[in-house]
Amino acid sequence: AQTVTQSQPEMSVQEAETVTLSCTYDTSESDYYLFWYKQPPSRQMILVIRQEAYKQQNATENRFSVNFQKAAKSFSLKISDSQLGDAAMYFCAYRSANRDDKIIFGKGTRLHILP
Amino acid sequence: NAGVTQTPKFRILKIGQSMTLQCTQDMNHNYMYWYRQDPGMGLKLIYYSVGAGITDKGEVPNGYNVSRSTTEDFPLRLELAAPSQTSVYFCASSKTTGTDTQYFGPGTRLTVL
């Protein structure tokens, strides 16, 4: 069965600095998708970035980028120039390309931004 | 567009009571999902639907039922509520599957006492 592991329950970063959130996953599938979602105190889930497993190039969205290591089954999120509005829970998620019901979330990392 | 709306925002149930959580999307999305989020945990898929009239179980379907009579609505029914169903429930929708963005509703916080 697929699993998603976020080993850092909480992290803190100084405003304007860079922080990296870790995510590892386990799967026997070769075709899948990976996501990072942000959940601020409002509880709304917001998609931050996504990556197709067949793409070698790492996805980038403005200040957010990923380091996708398929062989190592690692999918870390880097946030550059951290801002106070980045404070939230961040969830890593795995989605099978072959089955609509296979959407698996990690337990999340709470990110604090220090002014 | 309102996006994905959920009602109610909060609810307290007694053990054994039943209720329906409402979810509506106005984006003409084919795919809709129900998740639950327990404290300190990620989301777990309860049920999903790939179109009107088609539903299927996710990872944690026991104690729940769904229906999808229209493209817009995807209600989640709790029968015989139990304390283990205390959670925050999220509805989401997407146009297709794969990397297509899932749009989430604001959530319903349910407490079963």
Q: Report residue A100 as tokens.
A: 């609509």
Instruction: Report which of A108, A110, A115, A68 is spatially closest to residue A91, judged by C-alpha positions.
Output: A108
Could you say which of A100, A106, A108 has the minimum Cβ distance to residue B97? A100
Mean pLDDT computed over B59-83: 95
Instruction: Report which of B59, B60, B64, B61 is spatially closest to residue B75, judged by C-alpha positions.
Output: B64
User: What CA–CA distances, in Å, run from B86 to A2, A45, A94, B36?
Assistant: 25, 19, 25, 9
Q: Does A94 touch chain B (CB under 8 A)?
A: no
The span from the CA of A80 to the CA of A83, in Å, is 9
pLDDT in tens, B32-45: 999 999 988 889 99
The span from the CA of A54 to the CA of A35, in Å, is 14
pLDDT in tens, A78-112: 999 999 999 999 999 998 887 766 688 999 999 99
pLDDT in tens, A10-53: 999 999 999 999 999 999 998 899 999 999 988 888 999 999 99
Closest-CA residue of A relative to B32 is: A100
Could you say which of A47, A97, A101 has the minimum Cβ distance to residue B101? A47
Instruction: Report which of B76, B109, B99, B96 is spatially closest to residue B28, judged by C-alpha positions.
Output: B96
